[in-house]
Chains A and B, each alone.
Chain A
Amino acid sequence: MAIIGNPKYKERIQSHLAKYETKRSAVMPLLFIAQEEYGWVNPEGIDEVAHILNMDPTQVKSIAGFYTMYSEKPKGKYWLQVCTDLPCALKGADEFHAWLKDELGVEEGGTSADGMFTVDHVMCLAACDKAPMLQCNFRYVEELDQEKMRELLAKWRGEAVQAANGRN
């Protein structure tokens, strides 16, 4: 695994480097690429991004730590981030968030025993008229209730099993 020399990312990295006046400006898009490759922003990814941009790895790590969308530890296959900010909370998001953790048997920020789901909460995602809502691997899922969520969890589990079988 690597992002440097990986044909999958070559063109994207080049286009990001081309659109800014400085190399350093590309640190955010490159961190997203590192996260895509490794599943989280790991030390290898940090070093590679630093190398490409002629930055110190510590500087790259400080950027990764500042923003909530970069994960500094491994996550489950599906990262569920429930918005519990005020407008969603007025529509029952706190209760929904607590129920979801219960349903999956996880603590805040924890991952289910099968490695499938990580649950935490986030601030406003600009979907306040569709509360409660969450993002699953950065894809919005809106107007949720327990029944709809149970169906989604079953569907995602099924997809993960299918993907695993497909590889075998």
Chain B
Amino acid sequence: MHILLRGREIANIKQLKVYEAHDGFAGLRKALAVKPSEVIDIVKASGLRGRGGAGFPTGVKWSFIPQNEPIKYVTVNADESETGTFKDREIMEENPYQLIEGSLICAYAIQAKSIYIYLRGEFWDIGDQLDACIEALREKGYVGKNILGSGYDCEVYTHLGAGAYICGEESALLNSLEGYLGQPRVRPPFPAQKGGGLYKEATVVNNVETLANVPYILTAGAEAFKAIGTEQSSGTKIYCVSGHVKKPGNYELSMGTTFRELLYDHAGGPLFDDRPFKAMLPSGGSGPIVPLTDEVLDTPMSYEDAERIGTIIGSASIIIMDETVDMTWVASKVTKFFKHESCGKCTPCREGTYWLDKVIDRILDGRGSPDDVKRIADVAENMAGTTLCALGDFAANPIIHTIRHFPDDFAQHVQT
């Protein structure tokens, strides 16, 4: 069932009249008919958790916004830059009105003055499409003054980034939107607090996929949403599958579907029949790598079950590697990513990613020693937990977990 990728079933849902004909803006109408705090309660009851990676309960996040502050904002995180993630792109390309409707419901719930959609710069054509959608909505009274006669006013704007992974981190995103370097802020104050959000006002920052779920929650009800998925992971999730499978792509499935069903029934199994799966990065470059054993394959894809096998669901960007792939090379690839994307603010991340990359290059070159493998593990362990944002932890993961699970892949490169 598709709650999000409805463009696959309903032709032209990206046109406003088609979207309206399929329950479009029924969720917003329902929201506007009740008190803002009731909308927050509905989203809380649905069990919806943030789809950007952290999995924080969405309704709880909204409830942190102080109600008595006169100015509040919603910022949509459409910076989609995690290695292997391409789900928000499909939502915005094929079902843009649902994202805007979800954002408007969130804005009403916290009584925000305006919404800024922060898109990665490469998505400029999606930005143009969203701008056109916003204008169409303004003409019909869904955006602007006195929305649908409710007395509530809200503006919606798009903003383009310009190529920086770090701007997907919420406080860096806010700095970038304010015209400063996209570097994380010291917290507290958190974005939801006065002084911590956009222009120092209380701000909700939510991922595209998170907000696109909200219209369904309002129309079908929190119980209907909670009935999908597992106890702690409600709803569907878009799993982005890439790498060594026959049919890479986005698959929207109930949370709790097993990795085996996703990879074999939907993604077609190993790309080459004689090359079995070896490993999987279930949350792009930033989550811990796991060997694709039978136990892992039979694990349900939920926040709680992923934790049980020592990894995370995160943004569900599932990168699959077959038996021909050298995990030292994978560690190198992912480290080069984080070295490039480290914003340079915190010393452990800036220097750590630089030195990790240098030493892994030496190992891959055949000039490393067994001590070098210990050295990179040591550097990585000392980066984790020492930085203002999670990038430092993310950059430590590929080293720590590839060495833990695939020590032979490293040993083959170093002379003893």
Q: Is B128 an interface residue (CB 8 A)?
A: no
Is there contact, CB below 8 Å, between A129 and B341?
A: no
What count of chain B residues pass the 8 Å CB interface test?
Answer: 54
Is there contact, CB below 8 Å, between A127 and B86?
A: yes
Q: Is the interface of A mostly helix, strand, loop or mixed?
A: mixed
Query: What is the minimal beta-carbon distance from A160 to any residue of chain B, in angstroms?
Result: 22
Query: What is the minimal beta-carbon distance from B204 to any residue of chain A, in angstroms?
Result: 17
Which of B122, B157, B242, B325 lies in contact with A128, CB distance below 8 A? B242
Identify the closest chain B residue to A65 (Cβ). B181
Which of B179, B182, B244 lies in contact with A90, CB distance below 8 A? B244
Is there contact, CB below 8 Å, between A90 and B163?
A: no
- Which residues of A have CB within 8 Å of B341? 123
Within 8 A of B (CB), among A105-146: 122-129, 131, 135, 138-140
Query: What is the minimal beta-carbon distance from B18 to any residue of chain A, in angstroms?
Result: 25
Q: Is A69 an interface residue (CB 8 A)?
A: yes
Q: Is B333 an interface residue (CB 8 A)?
A: yes
Query: What is the minimal beta-carbon distance from B276 to any residue of chain A, in angstroms?
Result: 15
Is there contact, CB below 8 Å, between B83 and A87?
A: yes
Q: Is A31 an interface residue (CB 8 A)?
A: yes
Q: Is A70 an interface residue (CB 8 A)?
A: yes
Which of B155, B160, B165, B244 lies in contact with A32, CB distance below 8 A? B160
Interface flags, A16-27, vs B, CB<8A=1, else 0: 000111101111
A-B contacts, 16 listed (Cβ < 8 Å):
A19-B155, A25-B159, A25-B179, A67-B121, A67-B182, A69-B121, A69-B122, A85-B83, A87-B84, A89-B333, A125-B122, A126-B123, A128-B317, A129-B242, A138-B124, A140-B122
Given contacts A19-B157, A22-B178, A128-B242, 18 further A-B contacts (CB under 8 A): A20-B157, A22-B199, A25-B177, A31-B162, A62-B181, A69-B121, A85-B337, A87-B243, A90-B244, A123-B341, A125-B122, A126-B85, A126-B86, A126-B120, A128-B240, A128-B243, A129-B240, A129-B241
Question: Which 7 pairs, one residue from A and one from B, show the smallest C-beta to C-beta distance?
Answer: A68-B163, A67-B162, A24-B179, A128-B242, A87-B242, A129-B248, A69-B163
